[in-house]
Amino acid sequence: MGQQRPGERIVLLVEDNPDDELFARRAFAKVCPEVRLIPARDGEVAIDYLAGRGEFQDRDQHPLPDLVLLDLKLPRKSGLEVLEWIRRESDQPSLGVVVLTSSEETRDVERAKALGIQAYYVKPVTNSAFMETARSICREWSRVP
């Protein structure tokens, strides 16, 4: 993954769908080139990355993120379980988390908001809409603690 460069913003992209990861990579590269997306394909990998466990122990190679971009529907541990872990057990309980998911279920939105997310976005279905979502996330970045 490599060391963090000056001015670079690290975003842990917790996303199990390779197509959605590709859309996110393309969109952020165009609208927020200072962002480096680091993928985590399931909730357990995300927690291991954030905790610096196993292969993620070297923080020079695996820097802590400035923001987590979190899908809720994930294998092994759900996005809500990852969010609960961040808020209750991590060394960074106030880490900025933006939900980007296909779920429009009211209970998911309410639970995520109760756990202190910065924003909740439903995944766009077109490339141009994904670009606009990425642009919106980048614009709101300054509000993330």
The CATH number of the domain where 62 resides is what?
Answer: 3.40.50.2300
In a domain, 2, yes or no: no
Query: What range defines the domain where residue 64 resides?
Result: 9-139
Report pLDDT digits (tens) over 6-47.
678 899 999 999 999 999 999 999 998 889 999 999 999 999
Residue 1 confidence (pLDDT) above 90: no
Q: How many residues does the chain have?
A: 145
CB 98 within 8 A of CB 136: no
104 falls within a domain: yes
For residue 126, what pLDDT band results from cuts at 50, 70 and 90? confident
Q: What's the whole-number average pLDDT of the chain?
A: 91
pLDDT at 145 over 60: no
Which pLDDT score is estimated for 127? 85
Token pair, residue 27, equals 């969109």
Residue 81 lies in a domain: yes
With respect to residue 50, please indicate whether it lies within any of the assigned structural domains.
Answer: yes
Determine the pLDDT at residue 2: 66
**Residue 103: per-residue pLDDT:** 87
Structural domains of the chain, count? 1
Establish if 3 belongs to a structural domain: no
- Does residue 144 sit within a domain? no
pTM for the structure as a whole: 0.91
Average pLDDT over residues 97-125: 93
Question: Is residue 53, in this structure, part of any structural domain at all?
Answer: yes
Q: Using only C-alpha atoms, what is the Rg of the chain?
A: 14
Residue 48 counted as domain residue: yes
Predicted pLDDT at 125: 86
